[in-house]
Amino acid sequence: MSDDHVYMSLAEGHEDNARWAYGTGFEDPLHGVSTAVPDGVDRAELAELCLALADDALVSAQRLGEWTTRAPELEEEVALANIGLDLLGQARLLYARCGQVDGTGRGEDAYAYFRDADDFRNVTLAELPNGDFAFSMARLLVLASWRLAHFELLAGSADPVLAAIAAKGVKELTYHRQYAAEWVVRLGDGTEESHRRMQAGLDQVVPCLAELSAAHDAGEAVLAVLAQVTEAAGLSLADVPAAAAGAGRRGEHTEHLAPLLAELQSVARAHPEATW
């Protein structure tokens, strides 16, 4: 039938299934990339970096997962899940790389499910509870901008695997940053209530830049984004603190990480011998 035909021709345009969130036909970002660690790369340093970046992504994805069925509109359900899935994907690739280079040969689940809070190296901003949508968007804007700046550098890493992971991540993070920036502007400019909430969310996030800058100095990149977005949103930007040695990267966390992990790890730890 002709109406079906028009419709199906669209579907056929996507036969690779790339538009489905999962299924077959995933493009493997590491296809053809050698997993050998090049000479001159410090394995311990590389492992430490991969672990920290993976923990940031996993903890962020967990928080985004908590928005499921609670988002302010159905279209945002889809968007927040896309971002969560991107970060979960980054975490898995980074854990896998960590296991290849730290000498333990551990798989992704060993890192995610069988380490305690003080073994996690994520920045503490990622583990804070979701708060309202304004806080979540302020946090996403800062974390995405900061991670994007880092990934842009890492796309040129001497380690080909990390470089490939970062190159893929750059595209994803660019979108996350845009999504968050649009919402910060909307909420800042929208109504009195949204402006008040957005300002409060931003004020809560900005002090955390000290820890982020210590973990990775993104230079002016994050500040430039924040300045541009807050101006468009009619928000004021509090004084950005100087870099201060980050607690999260040393395994010192807020009281919020342990319960987050308890939930994340509950089933896996109840059945340590199980296969899923």
Partner 1 sequence: MTSDKHGWPLYEVFVRGKRGLNHVHVGSLHAADDTMALTHARDLYTRRNEGVSIWVVRSEHIAASTRDEKDPFFAPSADKVYRHPTFYDIPDDVPHI
Partner 2 sequence: MTQAGPPSADDAPPELQKHFDDTIARDQRIEPRDWMPDGYRRTLIRQVAQHAHSEIIGMQPEGEWITRAPSLRRKAILFAKVQDEAGHGLYLYSAAETLGAERADLTERLIEGRQKYSSIFNYPTLSFADVGVIGWFVDGAAICNQVPLCRSSYGPYARAMVRICKEESFHQRQGYELLMTMMRGTDAQREMVQDAVNRWWWPSLMMFGPPDDSSPNSARSMAWKIKRHSNDELRQRFVDMTVPQAEKLGVTLPDPELRWNEERGRHDFGTPDWDELMRVIKGDGPCNTERIERRRAAHEEGAWVREAATAHAAKQAARAKKGAAA
| 102 lines the binding site for partner 2 (CB under 8 A) | no
- Closest distance to partner 2 from the beta carbon of 161 (Å): 17
Tokens, residue 47 = 């492992």
| 73 lines the binding site for partner 2 (CB under 8 A) | yes
Residues 68-127 that bind partner 1 (CB under 8 A): 73, 75, 78-79, 82
Q: Which one, of 228, 241, 124, 216, lies nearest residue 182 by Cα?
A: 228
- Please identify, among the stretches 14-22, 117-125, 233-241, 266-274, the one whose residues bind partner 1 according to the rule CB under 8 A: 14-22
| 189 lines the binding site for partner 1 (CB under 8 A) | no
- Closest distance to partner 1 from the beta carbon of 171 (Å): 7
Match 């990622």 to its residue by tokens. 126
- Helices 43-66 and 74-101: angle between axes, nearest 10 degrees: 160
| 10 lines the binding site for partner 1 (CB under 8 A) | yes
DSSP of 2-48: HHHHHHHHHHHTTTT-TTSSSSS----TTTT---SPPTT--HHHHHH
Judged by beta carbon distances under 5 to 8 A according to partner kind, the member of partner 2, partner 1, none in contact with residue 49 is: none
> Which of 20, 114 has the CB closer to partner 1?
20
**Binder among 66, 102, 152, 203 for partner 2 (CB under 8 A):** 66
- Cα-to-chain-centroid distance, residue 136: 12
**Binder among 1, 13, 105, 273 for partner 1 (CB under 8 A):** 13
- Please identify, among the stretches 83-91, 167-175, 199-207, 243-251, the one whose residues bind partner 2 according to the rule CB under 8 A: 83-91
Work out the end-to-end distance of the chain between its first and last CA atoms, rounded to an integer number of angstroms: 43
Scored b (16 or more CB within 10 A) or e, 232-245 reads ebebeeeeeeeeee
Q: How many residues lie near partner 2 (CB under 8 A)?
A: 59
Where on the chain is the footprint of partner 2 (CB under 8 A)? Answer: 1, 3-4, 7-8, 11, 20-23, 58, 61-62, 65-66, 68-78, 81-82, 84-85, 88-89, 91-92, 95, 108-109, 112-113, 133, 185-187, 189-191, 193-194, 197, 263-264, 266-268, 271, 273-276
Where on the chain is the footprint of partner 1 (CB under 8 A)? Answer: 6-7, 9-14, 18-21, 73, 75, 78-79, 82, 171, 175, 178-179, 182, 186
